[in-house]
């Protein structure tokens, strides 16, 4: 799925190819999608944001058209964040703003910790910090976010199960975590997601993303418990989402940030898909 007015690029960074779309002019803004999506998530918001920003929308490694290395360690949020800072430098930007939904939000959080001089403003969408979720896992969270532990099982068990009917599994993901109907999603965006997740390499890449969360990201976050994001931060969350039911989402982030504001968007976890107008309004108000 093309993003109107944007050019598509395939950039090789330290041996890893990252696919992205780039458009607009102005202060640089990086938009990161989550699971189980691609950069098509931003197809309707990015052109509007490009009226005032140079917008770059990549596929995370393991997702979409980007490279899908086999090593689990290659999928840590730290490695993914390094991809994105290198991508922005490739386009001439040492400092930039970033917004990320779901896994993209976790990559953006790690980026803000590891490269605080690069990130000028940060928006994370519908997540609590990885360490917060895993360190004191509650029954209601485990039930809602079972996929974290299913996808993290050794290869090829989850890949085989998902590959039997990838649409059925990933549709169940889209319709969970706050509830939605497939009709709430744009048909063209859904087609783009399906084209990506039907690829066995993408299934493996997304599983490796979750494997790395347990084997690498938790330890990275545990080592950084006392570190805070120092740039202005916006926390957005779905008003009817699983995270809002389980946590006081703003409170979870307040202790992690020195300058934070928060707001809810109508809908569940996938509100950037199902409520793009409200999401765009919130992003414009923060980044403009």
Catalytic residues: 102, 269
Closest by CA to 80, choosing from 107, 45, 54, is: 107
Q: Is 83 in contact with 30 (CB distance < 8 Å)?
A: no
**Can you name the residues that pair with 31 across neighbouring β-strands?**
99
3-state secondary structure of 109: helix
3-state helix, strand, coil in the chain (%, to 5): 50, 20, 35
Radius of gyration from C-alpha coordinates of the chain: 17
Separation of alpha carbons 234 and 250, rounded Å: 10
Alpha helices by DSSP H, listed for the chain, are: 46-49, 77-90, 103-114, 130-135, 139-144, 147-151, 157-164, 166-175, 187-197, 200-212, 218-223, 242-246, 249-254, 271-274, 276-287
**Maximum C-alpha span of the chain:** 46
Peptide bond into 156 cis (omega under 30): yes
User: CA torsion sign, 73 to 78 to 84 to 88?
Assistant: negative
Block residue for tokens 């690498």: 216
């Amino acid at each position: 799925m093309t993003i109107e007015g944007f050019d598509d690029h395939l950039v090789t960074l330290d041996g890893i190819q990252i696919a992205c779309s780039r458009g607009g002019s102005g202060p640089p803004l990086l938009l990161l999608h989550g699971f189980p999506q691609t950069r098509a998530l931003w197809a309707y918001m990015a052109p509007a944001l490009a009226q005032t920003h140079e917008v770059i929308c990549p596929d995370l490694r393991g997702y979409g058209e980007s490279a899908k290395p086999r090593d689990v360690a290659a999928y840590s949020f730290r490695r993914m964040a390094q991809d994105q800072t290198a991508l922005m430098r490739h386009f001439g930007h040492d400092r930039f703003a970033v917004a990320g939904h779901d896994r993209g939000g976790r990559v953006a959080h790690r980026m803000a910790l590891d490269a605080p001089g690069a990130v000028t403003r940060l928006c994370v969408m519908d997540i609590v910090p990885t360490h917060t979720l895993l360190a004191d896992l509650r029954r209601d969270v485990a039930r809602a976010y079972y996929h974290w532990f299913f996808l993290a099982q050794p290869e090829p068990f989850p890949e085989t199960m998902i590959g039997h009917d990838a649409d059925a599994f990933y549709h169940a993901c889209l319709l969970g975590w706050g509830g939605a109907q497939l009709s709430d999603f744009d048909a063209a965006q859904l087609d783009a997601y399906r084209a990506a997740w039907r690829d066995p390499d993408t299934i493996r890449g997304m599983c490796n993303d979750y494997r790395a969360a347990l084997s690498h990201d938790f330890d990275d976050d545990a080592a950084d418990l006392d570190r805070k994001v120092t740039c202005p931060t916006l926390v957005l969350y779905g008003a009817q989402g699983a995270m809002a039911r389980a946590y006081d989402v703003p409170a979870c982030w307040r202790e992690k940030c020195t300058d934070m504001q928060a707001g809810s968007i109508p809908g569940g976890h996938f509100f950037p898909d199902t409520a793009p107008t409200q999401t765009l309004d919130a992003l414009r108000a923060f980044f403009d």
